[in-house]
Structure 1
Amino acid sequence: MSKALLVIDVQESFRQRPIWRASSNPDIVGQVSRLVEAARSQGDLVVWVLHSDPGTGDVFDPVNGHVRLIAPLAEQAGEPVLTKTSRNAFTTTNLHQLLTTAGIRELVVCGIQTEQCCETTTRVAADLGFEVTFVTDATATFPIAHRDAPTGRPVDEILADPRTLGTAEIVTRTEYVLAGRFATIRTVDELTGPVGAALAG
């Protein structure tokens, strides 16, 4: 085994936020499921990562019960589930030790959010010497309000503000900065084959 799939923060916490309806990828769970099934069939390690912010009282505070995988995603026996408190999956977990001990040199990254935890984990992984594949269409993100915009606005106001950075721009920017530097950009179809291909064959 030399490859691992990192599933980052595909957790119920995000579905509890009003901005969830503006997600760049409403089928994130379906896309991640395809990668998980492919990884398992190939004998690759699947590593699940969840984000936790204890003591905040928000949707990432574990006391509220949302720091869990979005159903029907679920780990199988032997698949590590790590909980992080930083934006990258390495700094506050034993991920590096786990991967090194297992002889992993290649990582496939997917999850939420595209430009935050997924991109940051990819950058750190590349710096640590891993060969990283970033599966953009198995990531999701949300519109980002301008830094000078008032906080706490309804989603409709955020979306209507011309200064808001849209999800297409965010995804494109992430691909540009990662490709050829920190990762190879691939699609779910490229890694698993198109949906229905096996039936058609």
Structure 2
Amino acid sequence: MKKTALILVDIQNDYFPNGRMELYETEKAAANARKLLDFYRSKDMQTFHIQHIFPSPDAPFFVEGTEGVEINEAVSPLEGEIVIQKNYPNSFRETHLLQYLQEADIEHVVICGMMSHMCIDATARAAVDLGFQCTVIEDACTSPDITVHNRTIPAIDVHDTFMAALGSLYADIKTTETYLELVQN
């Protein structure tokens, strides 16, 4: 089996109820991410927490120093787990993620977290472009409703469309249950 790392992308308070940018069913996605995190911790496997911080205090969410920018308690990093701060959707852009993965001889990344249509998509595509095998855990990710041309596209449709697109060439798309059954056997 290839050496694998878990990447938890932007599971931060502003995406949860009462946050500045609430997404669809964040608690469900975070609970599934926690199952993955628990498995990785139990096997002492490499885990990376990604934390998006907007550099401007005028940003609509993820403002440094606010409660909203903090990683949600459902997946709080333990002492010694790596937290990588980023300012862009792609978790590799202007961060040390690639360096950490290379230093750990990681060949396969498992990605979950927030904003399927933005940060999950950008990170998964970058991972593959950088030579990693990639799995996205679809029920540990979520999106918001988005609007284009005065038409609102429901979050579940946004999410499903991006999972289908990633699954066509970039990533193996699994549910939490399917993935954990596969790796536990």
In the superposition, the TM-score normalised over structure 1's length comes to 0.82
Query: Which amino acid in structure 1 is aligned with residue 12 of structure 2?
Result: Q
> 2 CA distance for matches of 1:59 and 1:176?
28
Q: Name the counterpart of 2:68.
A: 66
Q: Name the counterpart of 1:53.
A: 54
**What is the number of equivalent residue pairs in this alignment?**
178
The answer for unaligned runs of 5 or more in structure 2 is none
> 2 CA distance for matches of 1:41 and 1:72?
16
> 1 CA distance for matches of 2:20 and 2:82?
30
Query: Which secondary structure does the structure 2 equivalent of 1:72 belong to?
Result: helix
Q: Is the 8 A contact 1:7 1:109 kept in 2?
A: yes
After superposition, the C-alpha distances for 1:102-130 in whole angstroms (9 at most, x for unaligned) are 11111000000111101110000000000
Pairing 1:97–2:74 present = no
The structure with more strand, counted as a fraction of residues: 2
Q: Name the counterpart of 1:178.
A: 166
In the superposition, the TM-score normalised over structure 2's length comes to 0.89
> 2 CA distance for matches of 1:143 and 1:19?
11
Query: Which secondary structure does the structure 2 equivalent of 1:76 belong to?
Result: coil
Give % identity.
25
Cα distance change on mapping 1:97 and 1:141 into 2, 3 Å = same
Counterparts of 1:23-172 in structure 2 under 5 Å?
23-57=24-58, 58-146=60-148, 148-149=149-150, 163-172=151-160
RMSD of the TM alignment (CA)?
A: 1.8
Q: Name the counterpart of 1:10.
A: 11
Q: Is the 8 A contact 1:6 1:46 kept in 2?
A: yes
Query: Which secondary structure does the structure 1 equivalent of 2:7 belong to?
Result: strand
Report which of the two structures shows the higher radius of gyration computed on alpha carbons.
Answer: 1
